[in-house]
Structure 1
Amino acid sequence: MPVSPPGAAITPDELTFGSGFAALPPAFYTRLMPTPLPAPYFVASSSRAAALVGIDPQALEQEDFVAVFTGNRVPDGAQPLAAVYSGHQFGVWAGQLGDGRAILLGDLDGPAGRMELQLKGAGKTPYSRMGDGRAVLRSSIREFLCSEAMAALGIPTTRALVITGSNQRVMRETIETASVVTRMAPSFVRFGSFEHWHSRDREEELRVLADYVIDTFYPDLRSAANPYKELLAEVTRRTARMIAGWQSVGFMHGVMNTDNMSILGLTLDYGPFGFMEAFDVNHICNHTDQGGRYSYANQVAVGHWNCYALGNALLPLIDSVDAAQEALDVYMPEFERKLDELLHAKLGLATVEEGDRALIDGLFTIMQASHVDFTLLFRRLGDLQREVPGADTATIDAPLRDLFIDRAAFDEWAVRYRARLVREAASDEARRTAMNGVNPKYVLRNYLAQQVIEQAHNGDYSGVRELLAVLEQPFDEHPAHEAWAALPPDWAAHLEVSCSS
C-alpha cells in the first residue's frame, strides 16, 4: 500500500486490502456488509498501531476514515466477512459461535508485515445469536487502551488502531452508546476455529485451515515430518510464553475460553480483564466468573487445558495420541522457563543460583499475606540498596517496607535478598535502571479506565488520549501523572467488570 508522508492527505481508497483469510473456501465465513451507525465521530487512535500498517494517524480523524472504521463505508478491495468458529466457554462446550459483532475488512501490508483489520461492534452477523452486534463506548475504550498497553509492556497481543463512536443507543445493564474499535492482528484464527471443524467431523476443512495457518504464519514447519504436530507444539509454546508474560505483570484475562485463544499466541479479546492491585493469587477479575475458573492462579492451568482442547481438535491430522501428547508436553517447561527468566529480571538478578526459586517464592508469600500492590512493589524494589553499612534499613526501605502489613516478614526477606544481590556484579544504579526497564510504573488500573470512560460519556475524549500516551511508555517517569502510579483510591476496590459489553 502507498505510504504518504506525515501530514499528507490520504484517502481510504489508497488502502490496498488483501484477501488472505477471505481466500479460504466460503464455509469458513459469511460475507456481509457492516451495519452503518448514525453520525459517527472520532474518539481516539494509536499512532503506534497506525505505523504498523503505514497509515498517517492524523488521517484517522478525517471524516472519510471515520466512516470506514465505523463500517459506514467499505473501501475498494475490502471483502468484509464474519468468521465461524466454536469453542469451550468456562470449560463447557458451547457449540457454534463465530464473529457475532466483529467484521473483518481484509488485510493490509505495512512496515510490520501483514495485518488484518477487524471492526468490532460493526453490527449483526449470522453468528450474533441473541446479541445486537454492537460494542459500547465503555468496552471499546477498555479494549483500545489495554491492547496498546500490553504491546508497550512487551506482551504478545492484538492491537487497536482507532475508536469511533455514535450516539446510537445500546441496551446493556443500562442504556449506553455504540462504538467501534478497529482491531489489528496478523490473524484472528482461534483455537475454536479448529474445534469447530473437528466437532463436525469435517477433516477436509480442518486440514485446509491448518494448512492455511502453517503456510501463512509458520512456513518453517512445512518441512517437518509431522507439520501438524509441530503446529500444535509451537502454538503451545507461544501460549505458555504469553501467559508467563501475563503472570509477570499481574494481568488477568478474565475469560480464557477456547474461542478467545489466538493461534498465534496473542492476547485476544479484552473483555473483563484486570491488572492485579492488592495481591491475591486467587483474585478473580471477572464478576461473571462465580466459580473462579479464570482467577490469576488458574490462568496457567487453563492455558494448558485450552492447548489440550486444540490438540484434541488437531488429532485427526496429527494421527497419533502420543505425538499430540509430546507436543503438549512442551507447555509447562516453556512456561516455567519464561516465567523464571521474567522474574529474575524483575528482581534484578542477572545470574541464576540454586536458591533463587525459594527467594522468589518467599516474596510472593509475603505479598500474599499483606496483599501488597503488585505494580508498586516491583517498581519500588529497584530502589532497594544492596548494602547499607551502619544504617537503619527500616528507614531507608520505608517506601517499600510500608507496603507490607507484616513489616517483620519483609525485613526477614530483605536480608536474604540483599545477601543475594551482593553476589551480583551490577551496581545499585545499574540494577535499578535494568529493573525499571522491566517493572512498569504505570498499568491500566480499572479505576483509571473508569475515569476516562466517564469523561468520554460526557463527550470529553482527552482523557482517553492522555492515558494512552502514558500507557505507551509504562516504564518511564511521567511527573504530571504521578498520581496514576500511586495506590488506587478506596472506591476503586468496589469496581466490577463482567462479560457485559
Structure 2
Amino acid sequence: MASATSLESLTFDNVWSRFPQDFFSRVSPTPWRDTRLLDISPAGAARLGLEVDDIDRDRLTALISGERLLDGMEPLAQKYTGHQFGTYNPALGDGRGLLLGEAMTSQGPIDLHLKGAGQTPYSRFGDGRAVLRSSIREYLAGEAMTGLKIPTTQALAVAINGEKVMRERVEPGATLLRLAESHVRFGHFEWLYQQQRVEDLERLMRHVIDRHRPNLAHQDAPLEALFQDVVTRTAELIARWQAYGFVHAVMNTDNMSILGLTLDYGPYAFMDRFESNLTPNHTDTSGRYAFDQQPGVALWNLTVLGQSLTPLIEVERLREILDSYEPTLQAAYAILMRGRLGLETEQEGDGELIDEWLRLLESSRADFHRSFRALSERDVVGGLSLSAEIESPELDSWLERYRRRLDQESRGDTERLAAMRRVNPLYILRTHLAQQVIEAAEEGDTRPLATFRELLSAPSVRRPGMEIWSEAPSASAPPVCLSCSS
C-alpha cells in the first residue's frame, strides 16, 4: 500500500460500519467553537505514515474540532457493555468519543477516534465533552507509554476549544484525536454473550483475526488461538505496567483492549515513592484497582472474557489457556526487572533479590524511578552509593547481595550500565509535572507541553538543561488523588 502524503490522502476501509446496525450508532461530531491546536505528535503522525510537516494544521483543526471530516470517514459510536468495579453494566458504549474512520496505512489499519466529540446514545446523561486536563493527560500518556515500549493507544493531536465544560470545576473544553489499531474491547464480547448472539460473537472474533491477527487464521483452532493471544498479550502488558510502576486505576472490562493495548486513560498515575498499594483514583475506596491488585484484576477480566466465549470454545480449553496467564506474566516481569537491575542472565535467587529491592524502596519511601536510575549511573559503580535516594540501614546489606549477583555476570560495568540506562528512564509522566503542563496550556503557553512530550518520547536520554522534568515531587507533597474525569 502506498504511503499517505497528507491527511487528505489517507484512505479508509470502515469495516465496523458494515457490522449489524445495533453494533453502533451513526453520530456526527458536534462542532466546537474557537478550536486551537496545542500540539501534534511526531510519533502519532508516523503511525499514519506522515511527518508533522506533512500535516495541514488548518485541516487538522477542522477535523479535531468536528467541523469537517476527511473523505471516506463514517463516524459512529460503538456499542459494548462491561463490568465496572466488578458489576455488570449493560448500558455502555462510546459516550463522548466517535470512531471517525479506519485508515489503511502501510503499517496496517489505524482507527481515528475523536474524544470529546459530543453526545451519543450511550452518553448516559453526560455532556459528551472532554476537558483540557484529561485530554492533555491522555495525550502525554500515549507518548510516555510509547517511549517505554508499553503497548498503547496514542494521539495524533490535542486541541483546546473555546467552550467551557463543568466537571469538579468549570474547565476549558478540549478534543483529542486518538489512534489505535483497534478499539475492540472485552466488553464487546460480553455484550454479544449477554445477548446470546453466538453467530455475531463468532463474527467479531473472526474479524479480529482477519483484520489484526491474520497469522492465527491458519491455526487448527483459530478462535482458541485468538483467546490464547489475548491472554498472552494481556499478561505481557500487565508485566510492563508492574515493572514501570504504572497504575491504570480503572481496569473495568470495557477498558480492556482485545489487542493488549493500554486503553482509556483516566485517573492513572506513575509511581513516585514506591507504594505497593497505590490507588490514585479517589473513587476506588476499596482499592480494587490498586497497583498490587492489577495482575489479579487482569486475570479476573480475562476470566469474564473467557466466560463470554463459552458458546464457541470448550470450557476446559478456556481454563487451560487461562492457566497460562500467571507463568507468562511472571516470566515477562522477571525479564523486565532483571533488565532494570542490569542482570543479563537468569540465576536462582533473582526473584528474591528483586522482591527485597522493592521492599527496601517501600520501607524507605524511596522514589521508584530515581532509585533505579541511580543504580544505572556511572558514579555509583564504586561502592554503589544510593544514599541520596534511599535512607535505610538495610541498603548496605542489599547492595552487598547485589554486588555478589553482579559477579555472576559476564558483561563489564560499562556495558552493563549503558544497558541499564536504556531501560531506566529519567523522564517519567509524573502527576505533578503533567499538572504544570496543563496549567501552562490553560494560560496559553504550549511550550511545556511540546517539551515534555519530546522528553517522554525518549525517556532514557539525558537532555542538558531539562533537569526540572526529571524531578520527583517534594516529600511534603500530598498523595496522588485523581478523579475519573482526570
> Quick one: structure 1 residues 35 and 101, their matched pair in 2 at CA, closer, same or farther if it must change by over 3 Å?
same
Partner of 1:421: 406
2:338 is aligned with 1:344: yes
1:342-491 map, 5 Å: 342-383=336-377, 388=382, 393=383, 397-398=384-385, 400-406=386-392, 408-490=393-475
Show CA shifts across 1:182-207 (max 9, x none): 11111000000100111111212211
Provide the alpha-carbon RMSD of the alignment: 1.7
Q: Greater shift after overlay, 482-491 or 292-301?
A: 482-491
DSSP 3-state at the match of 2:69: coil
Partner of 2:327: 333
2:275 is aligned with 1:280: yes
Alignment-mate amino acid for residue 139 of structure 1: S
Alignment-mate amino acid for residue 110 of structure 1: T
Question: 1:4, CA displacement in angstroms?
Answer: 6.6
Alignment-mate amino acid for residue 415 of structure 2: A
Residue in structure 1 matching 2:308, options 313, 334, 337: 313
Question: 1:402, CA displacement in angstroms?
Answer: 3.0
Aligned length: 486
- Is this contact kept in 2: 1:386–1:422, CA < 8 A? no
CA distance in 2, matches of 1:482, 1:61: 34
Percent same amino acid among aligned pairs?
Answer: 43
> Quick one: structure 1 residues 479 and 122, their matched pair in 2 at CA, closer, same or farther if it must change by over 3 Å?
same
CA distance in 2, matches of 1:387, 1:343: 19
CA distance in 1, matches of 2:336, 2:475: 31
Show CA shifts across 1:167-188 (max 9, x none): 1111101111211111111100
CA distance in 2, matches of 1:385, 1:484: 21
CA distance in 2, matches of 1:387, 1:227: 51
DSSP 3-state at the match of 1:166: strand
CA distance in 1, matches of 2:418, 2:56: 38
CA distance in 1, matches of 2:109, 2:125: 33
User: Structure 1: 5+ residue runs without aligned partners?
Assistant: none
2:67 is aligned with 1:72: yes
- Is this contact kept in 1: 2:3–2:106, CA < 8 A? no
> Quick one: structure 1 residues 141 and 259, their matched pair in 2 at CA, closer, same or farther if it must change by over 3 Å?
same
Question: 1:444, CA displacement in angstroms?
Answer: 0.2
DSSP 3-state at the match of 2:82: strand
Alignment-mate amino acid for residue 410 of structure 1: L
> Quick one: structure 1 residues 150 and 244, their matched pair in 2 at CA, closer, same or farther if it must change by over 3 Å?
same
Question: 1:366, CA displacement in angstroms?
Answer: 1.0
1:28-107 map, 5 Å: 28-60=23-55, 62-107=57-102
Question: 1:413, CA displacement in angstroms?
Answer: 0.3
- Is this contact kept in 2: 1:46–1:161, CA < 8 A? yes
TM-score using structure 1 length: 0.94
User: Structure 2: 5+ residue runs without aligned partners?
Assistant: none
CA distance in 2, matches of 1:366, 1:124: 48
Partner of 1:253: 248
Show CA shifts across 1:187-242 (max 9, x none): 00000010011111121221111111122112222233332222111101100000
Alignment-mate amino acid for residue 160 of structure 2: G
Show CA shifts across 1:359-389 (max 9, x none): 111111111111210100111112378975x
Alignment-mate amino acid for residue 405 of structure 1: E
Residue in structure 2 matching 1:176, options 171, 181, 199: 171
